[in-house]
């Protein structure tokens, strides 16, 4: 081959590929990846039997009654949790944001508080609140409120920073104080994006509230957990169907709301149209209804004792005692070694799961295949990871590989859809040019379309990896190894000092992954 | 702007909710004397626990003259916390859960939890090791296999089997390929029957019940080892419950007579020949085992 024909980037690509292999190999080892067991006849029979049990779905009246109640509860938990998250997010976002300040200083205290709120998975918050406030939806609402409050606050702060700062600056120079400058200078520009993101988060909250049921926080998840534990396929199938309908409906509704935001307001003097008025009313009614349906008041949070004062004091004391038990965390070398192994396993589950999902997602998103596969994509992503993990554990046995597969299945659905959109939006010219020059379709795709879409694909994959590390940390609750199993075990035994080390490890791991992913995104740009 | 209006509405709505919630009266605080709040560790499926408790609940209502409310839960530790925070009055606890409850409630205003009665069977309880794998014949064969315990804080599904495994020279974390916690005894059987775990351990009483009810295929899943006997389950009351009520409850359990057809049904559902008195010293052995197995620090 002559010098000119050679790929000028060959050397760096080779080094990159080798480095990837060196880094990934031990991770694949730690995740105990053994594709062979997937096709083991014994395992295939087991999972076949379980899936055959899905038919017919359970339709007994008593069960459907439970199901209806649990579905309402899930909706109410998501809505009430979002209301709480909003209450947390507004002041926190205001404090954390550099928007509307004279100098763009950030508030490090609020920022780190937000990182802690977001970094600890909602399932862990739920598990802790279940202990403090007793079983039931209150724990789920609080857990959602805290994690989503953290996320909303961060995104609100960033949205406000990203819009044109000139109007706010002008207002401030004319003597307006910061809240007014933000309210009249920034929010009008950002309101659509803010509202749209909030609605999107509500949709996520519905999925999350299902997952929290796995630790006893009520709703569909609790039913699902029981059905899955008993390997009752018929019940599992009905719950899964109900859940998918709920997710699709929420998806559709939030899409409609977001589109509604895109239509310009009617040309009239009063800002109150039937739509904003109706929506506002519906919002208030649904929030009030959610709280009252869940019967959440202070009274359910506090102990029922003989006298009012002693009740409050005692509840505060018992919560204080509970929280104090978590300090100081156990930092003995022996325990740290165990946690270290858990971290490594969790990291491996998240990396392997995301990579497998990226490959599967790309295949599912290939242009020619897409139409019949969109249903498959939707099914894959509407089944939560924890449910997939129960099924994959049957297929490959308990352990990290089951967790990685569960992540891969769910994420493949999400990434497939995102990839398909990115490929659609990639500039068509290079691919067409190659095809016109006589290149076969595959080459035109690989060298024409794919490079154009690659930055977007990589960004989506890294973003999902950030989500997956949080999920990998909790998959252990259903026996898929990693930090989750350690945490479940220690919390069950009231070993709070040890549990607190695990929670800190989860937090550090998710922060580290966020940083790594941000760095990778920059490096690959 | 339409949506800043919406946002304001949302904010006021949520604030109003919070205010209403905060101001709502604390009425149930006075319901203590008329309602007996009962719960149980979720060692079996919650629906099964409720079915099992129904006739006993009616009997206790008749004996105490109080309304009996049973709250099913899905978490062992939550039952212990509920006793400590006085959210329940009477609880069906495992031996180890009782030890945890005793330690958790010592020196609190809720008073140290008191065990009042146990089934005759609980004084010589055992756990069964089960498998569907023909190559597993003795405990030592478990090396390198996947293994399912019940809940981590279960006495018969986790603590005592772990203790006896340790005495047989096996360390679950080191010697087993993977350790899973199914969460409940009947779930452990489902795990092993489905091949999700190669072997598992559960409480002998639940195993016998599943075999009698033909809910397990004994051609496939078999018992290959049984633990020595130990003290297990009891009914425990909150330490600061009215002593007269404690006496009434204890008598109610002890009075259950297999010769009486109505009582017979209750006893059968509880899988008890009869109830006998118990004391906290009965569980000292479990506390020692828990320390030895590293489950108590």
Dump pLDDT digits (tens) for A317-373.
767 777 788 888 888 998 999 899 999 999 999 999 999 999 999 988 886 665 667
Instruction: Judge if B54 and B84 occupy the same domain.
Output: yes
B137 and B109 housed in the same domain? no
Of B226, B241, B260, the position where a domain reaches its end is: B226
Q: Residue B262 in 3-state DSSP?
A: helix
Q: How many Å apart are CA B271 and CA B258, to the nearest integer?
A: 11
B196 and B104 within one domain:
no
Q: Which of residues 181-200 of A touch B (CB under 8 A)?
A: 183, 187-188, 191-192, 194-195
In a mutational test of the A interface, the residue from B81, B179, B185 whose CB has the highest number of chain A CBs within 10 Å is: B81
**Are residues B213 and B253 part of one domain?**
no
Specify whether the CB–CB gap between B155 and B94 falls below 8 A.
Answer: yes
Contact B194 A495 (CB under 8 A): no
Q: Residue B235: inside a domain, yes or no?
A: yes
Q: Tokens for B104?
A: 């958790």
> Do B104 and B241 fall within a single domain?
yes
* Residue B172 included in any domain: yes
Which CATH number applies to A55-300?
1.10.3720.10
Residues 465-494 of A with CB under 8 A from B: 479, 481, 485, 488-489, 491-494
Structure tokens at B261: 């057809």
H-state helical runs in A182-332:
187-212, 220-229, 233-262, 274-293, 298-301, 308-324
Residues B119, B243 share a domain: yes
| pLDDT for B23 beyond 50 | no
State phi, psi for B63 to the nearest 5 degrees.
-75, -35
Residue B26 within any structural domain of the chain = no
For residues B57 and B110, membership in a common domain is answered with yes
Domain end call among B226, B260, B275: B226
Within a domain: residue B82? yes
Residue B209 near residue B270, CB atoms below 8 Å = no
H/E stretch holding B147: strand B146-149
CATH of the domain at B191: 3.40.190.10
Based on the domain organization, do B106 and B244 belong to the same domain? yes
Label residue A267 by pLDDT band (50, 70, 90): low
Architecture label for domain A23-52+330-525: Orthogonal Bundle (1.10)
Instruction: Evaluate whether residue B262 is within a structural domain.
Output: yes
Share of chain B above pLDDT 70, in %: 89
User: What is the value of pTM for the model shown?
Assistant: 0.77
- Considering only CB atoms, which chain B residues are within 8 Å of A288? 13, 16-17, 20
Domains A23-52+330-525 and A55-300 in one fold: yes
- Per-residue pLDDT, averaged over B215-230, amounts to 92
Interatomic CA distance for residues A119 and A114, integer angstroms: 8
Lowest mean pLDDT among A130-134, A242-246, B62-66, B210-214: A130-134
The crossing angle, in degrees rounded to 10, of helices A122-133 and A137-162 is 140
Cα angle A307-A308-A312, degrees, rounded to a multiple of 5? 115
Pair B196, B279 in one domain: no
Of B226, B249, B266, which residue sits at a domain end? B226
Where is B115: in which H helix or E strand? strand B114-119
Q: Between A393 and B252, whose confidence is greater? A: B252
Range of B201's domain?
A: 126-226
Q: With a CB-CB cutoff of 8 Å, which residues 243-282 of chain B face chain A?
A: none
Cβ under 8 Å to A: B residues 167-226: 177-178, 180-184, 186-187, 190-191, 194-197
Closest CA to A411 of A369, A434, A443, A377: A377
Q: What is the pLDDT of residues A78-129, one digit of tens each?
A: 999 999 999 999 999 988 888 777 776 667 888 888 888 887 888 788 877 7
Taking the C-alpha atoms of residue A360 and residue A368, their distance in angstroms, rounded to an integer, is: 15
Question: Over the stretch A406-417, which tens digit does the pLDDT of each residue have?
Answer: 999 999 998 988
Asked whether residue B113 falls in the same domain as residue B256, the answer is yes
Where along chain A do its domains lie?
A: 23-52+330-525, 55-300
Alpha-helix residue ranges (DSSP H) falling in A163-232 = 166-173, 178-181, 187-212, 220-229
H or E segment at A83?
helix A61-96
Residues A9-25 have a mean pLDDT of: 83
In chain B, the N- to C-terminal Cα span, in Å, equals 60
pLDDT of residue B28 exceeding 70, the answer is no
- In terms of pLDDT, which residue wins out, B72 or A168? A168
Q: Is A338 exposed, middle or buried (0-12, 13-18, 19+ CB in 10 A)?
A: middle
Distance (Å, rounded) from C-alpha B92 to C-alpha B87? 14
How sure is the predictor about B16, in pLDDT bands with cuts at 50, 70 and 90? Answer: very low
Q: Is B23 domain-assigned?
A: no
Q: How far is A273 from chain B (nearest CA, A)?
A: 8
Q: Domain for residue B296, yes or no? A: no
Asked if the structure places residue B293 within a domain, the reply is no
Question: Does residue B184 register a pLDDT over 50?
Answer: yes
ipTM of the complex: 0.73
Does residue A357 contact residue A381 with C-beta atoms inside 8 Å? no
Total number of domains in chain B: 2
By the 8 A CB rule, do A220 and A243 touch? yes
Average pLDDT of the residues in A68-72: 89
Tell me if B86 and A303 make a contact (CB, 8 A cut-off). yes
Please provide the average confidence, as pLDDT, over all residues in chain A.
Answer: 82
Q: Could you count the other beta carbons within 10 Å of the beta carbon of residue A295? A: 13
The answer on B101 and B166 residing in a single domain is no
| Nearest C-alpha neighbor of A389 from the set A279, A479, A305 | A479
């Amino acid at each position: 081959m002559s010098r000119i024909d050679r790929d000028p980037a060959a050397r760096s690509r080779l080094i990159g590929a080798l480095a990837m292999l060196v880094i990934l190999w031990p991770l694949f080892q730690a995740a105990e990846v053994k594709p062979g067991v997937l096709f083991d006849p014994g395992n295939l029979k087991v999972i076949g039997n379980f899936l055959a049990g899905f038919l017919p779905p359970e339709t007994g009246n008593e069960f459907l009654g439970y199901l209806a109640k649990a579905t309402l509860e899930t909706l109410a938990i998501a809505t009430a949790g979002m209301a709480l998250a909003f209450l947390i997010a507004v002041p926190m976002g205001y404090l954390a944001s550099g928007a509307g300040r004279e100098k763009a200083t950030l508030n490090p205290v609020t920022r780190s508080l937000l990182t802690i709120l977001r970094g600890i998975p909602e399932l862990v918050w739920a598990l802790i609140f279940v202990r403090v406030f007793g079983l039931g939806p209150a724990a789920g609402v609080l857990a959602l409120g805290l994690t989503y409050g953290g996320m909303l606050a961060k995104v609100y702060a960033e949205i406000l920073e990203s819009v044109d700062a000139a109007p706010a600056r002008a207002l401030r120079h004319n003597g307006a104080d910061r809240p007014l400058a933000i309210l009249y200078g920034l929010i009008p520009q950002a309101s659509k994006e803010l509202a749209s993101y909030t609605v999107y988060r509500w949709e996520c909250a519905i999925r999350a509230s299902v997952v929290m049921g796995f630790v006893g926080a009520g709703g569909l998840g609790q039913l699902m957990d029981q059905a899955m534990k008993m390997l009752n396929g018929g019940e599992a199938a009905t719950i899964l169907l109900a859940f998918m309908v709920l997710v699709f409906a929420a998806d559709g509704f939030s899409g409609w709301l977001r589109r509604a935001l895109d239509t310009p307001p009617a040309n009239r003097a009063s800002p109150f149209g039937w739509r904003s008025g109706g929506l506002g009313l519906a919002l208030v009614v649904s929030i009030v209804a959610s709280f009252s349906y869940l019967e959440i008041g202070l009274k359910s949070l506090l102990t029922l004792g003989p006298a009012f004062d002693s009740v409050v004091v005692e509840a505060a004391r018992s919560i204080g005692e509970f929280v104090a038990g978590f300090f100081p965390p156990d930092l003995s070398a022996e325990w740290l070694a165990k946690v270290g192994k858990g971290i490594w396993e969790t990291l491996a589950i998240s990396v392997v799961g995301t990579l497998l999902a990226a490959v599967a997602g790309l295949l599912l998103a290939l242009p020619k295949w897409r139409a019949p596969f969109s249903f498959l994509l939707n099914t894959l992503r509407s089944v939560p990871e924890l449910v997939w993990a129960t099924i994959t554990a049957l297929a490959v046995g308990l352990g990290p590989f089951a967790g990685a597969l569960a992540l891969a299945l769910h994420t493949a659905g999400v990434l497939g859809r995102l990839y398909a959109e990115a490929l659609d939006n990639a500039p068509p010219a290079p691919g067409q040019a190659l095809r016109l020059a006589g290149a076969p379709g595959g080459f035109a795709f690989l060298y024409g379309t794919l490079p154009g879409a690659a930055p977007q694909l990589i960004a989506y994959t890294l973003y999902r990896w950030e989500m997956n590390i949080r999920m990998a940390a909790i998959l252990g609750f259903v026996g898929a190894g990693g930090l989750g199993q350690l945490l479940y075990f220690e919390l069950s035994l009231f070993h709070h000092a040890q549990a607190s080390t695990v929670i800190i490890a989860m937090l550090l791991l998710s922060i580290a992954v966020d940083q790594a992913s941000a760095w990778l995104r920059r490096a690959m740009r | 702007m339409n949506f800043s209006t919406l946002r304001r509405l949302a904010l006021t709505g949520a604030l109003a909710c919070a205010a209403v919630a905060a101001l709502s009266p604390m009425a149930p605080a006075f319901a203590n004397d008329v309602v007996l709040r009962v719960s149980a560790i979720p060692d079996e499926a919650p629906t099964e626990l409720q079915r099992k408790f129904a006739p006993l609940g009616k009997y206790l209502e008749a004996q105490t003259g109080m309304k009996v409310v049973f709250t099913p839960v899905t978490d062992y530790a939550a039952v212990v916390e509920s006793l400590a925070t006085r959210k329940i009055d009477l609880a069906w606890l495992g031996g180890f859960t009782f030890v945890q409850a005793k330690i958790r409630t010592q020196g609190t205003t809720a008073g140290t939890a008191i065990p009042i009665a146990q089934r005759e069977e609980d004084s010589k309880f055992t756990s069964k090791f089960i498998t569907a794998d023909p190559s597993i014949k003795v405990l030592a064969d478990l090396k390198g296999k996947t293994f399912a315990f019940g809940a981590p804080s279960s006495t018969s599904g986790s603590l005592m089997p772990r203790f006896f495994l340790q005495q047989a020279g096996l360390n679950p974390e080191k010697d087993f390929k993977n350790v899973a916690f199914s969460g409940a005894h009947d779930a452990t059987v489902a795990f092993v029957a489905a091949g999700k775990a190669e072997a598992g351990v559960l409480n002998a009483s639940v195993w016998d019940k599943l075999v009698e009810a033909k809910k397990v295929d004994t051609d496939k899943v078999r018992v290959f080892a049984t633990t020595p006997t130990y003290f297990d389950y009891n009914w425990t009351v909150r330490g600061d419950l009215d002593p007269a009520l404690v006496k009434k409850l204890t008598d109610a359990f002890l009075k259950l007579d297999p010769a009486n057809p109505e009582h017979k049904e209750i006893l059968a559902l509880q899988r008890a020949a009869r109830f006998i008195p118990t004391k906290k010293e009965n569980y000292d052995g479990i506390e020692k085992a828990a320390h030895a197995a590293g489950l108590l620090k």
